[in-house]
Structure 1
Amino acid sequence: MTFVLAVDDDPAILRTLSINLRARGYDVETAGDGRSALQVVDERMPDAVILDLGLPDLDGVAVLKRLRSFTQVPVVVLSARHESDDKVEALDEGADDYVTKPFDMEELLARVRSAIRRAGAAEASLVVVAGDVRLDVTERRATRAGDEVRLTPTEWHIVEVLARRQGRLVRQAELLHEVWGPGYDRETNYLRVYLAQIRRKLESDPSRPTMFITDPGIGYRLVTPG
């Protein structure tokens, strides 16, 4: 299910967005300020963000800059600011689209769908290279020193989630939710077992991993040493 984060300081707009998105099959979470939005992203990466610029704490552009420092998640700005300078600044900082208030719901949802499709196309050639290991995530093909390495579908799913946020921490609950779905947020033993299997197949020294790094009690990250 596609996960959308809606960020706006107007509860009525958040309620409207939530109702309409859920009615169309989206998983939705809302945030009324910038810090809450970044906390949501830290805990679970959305597939798209609808972002107001006029937030009560961090300005929306500041939130956008923070997001772009570690993710290319699609961001559709929804703002009452009509001035071209505001639009140009938001787009220059990495917004995928800009919709002004008052807005037409169908148009906004079409823009969100389009941004998600473009992001999917951009990820179509996701390849990770670390030393003698090459992971073609799209084709689900792994090699180590030129030799084929077989990963199971579940192992590939874990690798894909980590690769999409390469170098960034993915929390245990988010990884479990992405791979196994709702209701598995506490099954951290699953992650220990599968990460051990992945390391045995891909790491030169599985007991001292250099690619699949554990942040004890918090989560995992995929890094690419030379």
Structure 2
Amino acid sequence: MKKILLINDNDTYIWCLQKYLQRRGYPVETASTLKEARTVIQEEMPLVICCALDLPDGSGMGFLDEVRATDKELPFILVSCHDKEDYEQEAKQRGATLCMDKMKGMLLQDMLVEYACRQLSGEKAPTFHTLLFVHAEDTSAGVLRAAMQQKGFDLILTPSIGEAKRRIFEDKEIELILCDVDLPDGTAMELFHALRRVAGMSQMKNPPVRLLLFFILTENSDLATEYEYRHEGVNDYITAPVNIPELIRRVLFFVE
């Protein structure tokens, strides 16, 4: 089996990532410099490449050019602690498959497994959308996250309104919020109205704070309740148990 190639000069970071992938059954090759990485790909092109933007002997962007000169389709993920707005547009133009925040370790692990799996099965890599799921119950949230991951959706899980607010303002990749109706520190509508107030107060800013798409998830299928939420401005209302294909169809209606 071809290997996943990890290129990073942080020994601890790359060791943790390598061990996770190996436990999932994927062989891994590591390199701490571009020189070492070139030696690896000369012997055999890897299954997926995950490369740091900054390395001791050069830039991951330059290595991306070298790889694309011989292989236009190989999944190539660039990781960095820099703001993606500083380099993502150029990286995508030069052929990067994905640009990711280096500190989002769990999400990066999932992306590597997803791309490796699709490479082995011959499937086309998906276009990923990032959703924030504010959930009241860990187990069902994990199940939903795994199911959506297979369909090309990243679900960031947060167990409270307080944590959700922090993630929303820090993570510019979030496109839509899926929120359980009742949470340990409040309700979905309290979060929705808080975000609406912040967005309304920031319209004079450049750029203004976005009012993200907002879905409510509940076991209550009462039409009057659904009408009330929609009247308040909520984009959609999902009843449990969640039908994954239906949820995806409704999400894509708004984000695409």
Larger Rg: 2
RCO higher in structure (CA 8 A, sep ≥6): 1
TM-score by length of 1: 0.50
TM-score by length of 2: 0.44
